[in-house]
Structure 1
Amino acid sequence: MRQRPGVPDRGLVVEVRDRIAAAGVRPTPDRVAEALRAGGHVHGDTTVLAVVDALHRETVGAGPLEPLLRAEGVTDVLVNGPRAVYVDRGRGLERTDVEFDDDDAVRRLAQRLAAAAGRRLDDASPFVDVRLPDGTRLHAVLAPIARPGTALSLRVPARRAFTLDELAERGAFTAEIGEVLRTVVRARVAFLVTGGTGTGKTTLLSAMLSASDGAERQLVVEDASELRPDHPHVVALESRPANVEGAGSVVLRDLVRQALRMRPDRLVVGEVRGAEVVDLLGALNTGHEGGCGTLHANAARDVPARLEALAMAAGMPRAALHSQLAAALDLVVHVVRDADGCRRVAELATFRPADDGTVACVPAIVVRRDGEVEDGPGRGRLEEIVGASAGLGTATAGGSLGPAAAEGSLGTAAAEGVT
Structure 2
Amino acid sequence: MVNASEVSQDELARYYEALGPIRDLVLDDSLTEVMVNGYENIYVERSGKILLTDRKFDDENHLLRVIDFIVSAVGRRIDFRTPMVDARLLDGSRVNAVISPIALDGPMLTIRKFSRDPFQAEDLVNFGTVTTEAVGFLKACVMARANIMISGGTGTGKTTLLNVASSFIPPDERIVTIEDAAELQLHQEHVCRMESRPPDL
| TM-score calculated relative to the size of structure 1 | 0.40
Cα distance change of structure 1 residues 59 and 169 upon mapping to structure 2, 3 Å threshold: closer
Offset of residue 129 of structure 1? 2.8
Q: Structure 2: which 5+ residue stretches go unaligned?
A: 1-12
Shift of 1:65: 0.9
- Please identify the structure whose Cα radius of gyration is greater: 1
Shift of 1:151: 0.8
In structure 2, relative to structure 1, the CA distance for the partners of 1:149 and 1:88 (3 Å cut) is same
> Match for 1:82 among 33, 39, 46?
39
- For 1:113, which of 52, 59, 70 is the aligned residue? 70
Q: Give the SS at the match of 2:133.
A: helix
Aligned to 2:19: 62
SS of residue paired to 2:31: coil
Q: Alpha-carbon deviation of 1:204? A: 0.5
The 1:67–1:173 alpha-carbon spacing in structure 2 relative to 1, beyond 3 Å, is: same
Return the letter of the residue paired with 2:62.
A
Where is the helix percentage greater, Structure 1 or Structure 2?
A: 1
Whole-Å separation in 2 of the counterparts to 1:123 and 1:185: 43
Q: CA deviation at 1:118?
A: 3.7
AA of the residue aligned to 2:165? M
1:139–1:153 Cα contact (<8 Å) kept: yes
The equivalences for 1:24-39 within 5 A come to none
Q: 1:168 to 1:94 in 2, by over 3 A?
A: farther
Counterpart contact for 1:81–1:147, Cα < 8 Å: no
Given the alignment of the two structures, is residue 172 of structure 1 paired with residue 129 of structure 2, yes or no? yes
Q: 2:61 aligns with which of 86, 99, 104?
A: 104
The structure-2 alpha-carbon separation of the partners of 1:132 and 1:58, relative to structure 1 and needing over 3 Å to count, comes to closer
* Residue type of the alignment partner of 2:94: R
**Alignment-derived partner of residue 148 in structure 1:** 105
* Distance (whole Å) between structure 1 residues aligned to residue 159 and residue 37 of structure 2: 25
Aligned sequence identity (%) = 39
How far, CA to CA, are the matches of 2:123 and 2:16 in structure 1?
38
Candidates 163, 185, 199, aligned match of 1:228: 185
RMSD of the TM alignment (CA)? 2.8
Which residue does the alignment assign to 1:37? none
Match of 1:202 in 2: 159
CA distance in 2, matches of 1:158, 1:164: 15
Aligned residues: 189
Structure 2 residue aligned with 1:162, among 119, 138, 151?
Answer: 119
Q: Which whole-Å deviations, capped at 9, do the CAs of 1:194-243 have from their partners, x for residues lacking one?
A: 2112111111111111123222222222221111123333222222346x
Q: Secondary structure at the match of 2:85?
A: strand
